[in-house]
Amino acid sequence: MTKEQFLDGTPFYIGGKKYLGDSTYYFDGGHISRHSRSSIDDKIILNEYECNVVKMSRVSFTGFTFVLGKKTVVTVRFDNLVPYQSEISVGE
């Protein structure tokens, strides 16, 4: 995935899709949100906050959130992000 796709809010997997209904993520103006998807038809069933984005470079972004009161920081490269593509045809 490119940085431009990321900034445009293109939904993505981190490292690739692992199973039907695997969560996707997207950049939403300063933070990352997560789409929890149905394991039946891959439709979005829940949209929720994942982490804040605090730094962005040419090749990666850094985000943080709190887990059980402890700050957790992650850095993810854009080339490790795989854009979401629906596998179900329109009209099915």
pTM attached to this predicted model: 0.86
Structural domain boundaries, residue 31: 3-83
Residue 88 located in a structural domain: no
Question: 61 vs 20, 42, 86, CA distance in Å?
Answer: 26, 27, 25
pLDDT tens-digit map of 62-89: 999 999 999 999 999 999 999 998 765 4
Interacting residues of 5 by C-beta distance below 8 A, sequence separation 6+ = 12, 83
Q: What is the pLDDT of residues 24-38, one digit of tens each?
A: 999 999 999 999 999
Joined tokens for residue 50: 């994942």
Q: From the CA atom positions of the chain, what is the Rg in Å? A: 14
Tally of structural domains, the chain: 1
CA angle, residues 84, 86, 88, in degrees to nearest 5:
165
Residue 27 lies in a domain: yes
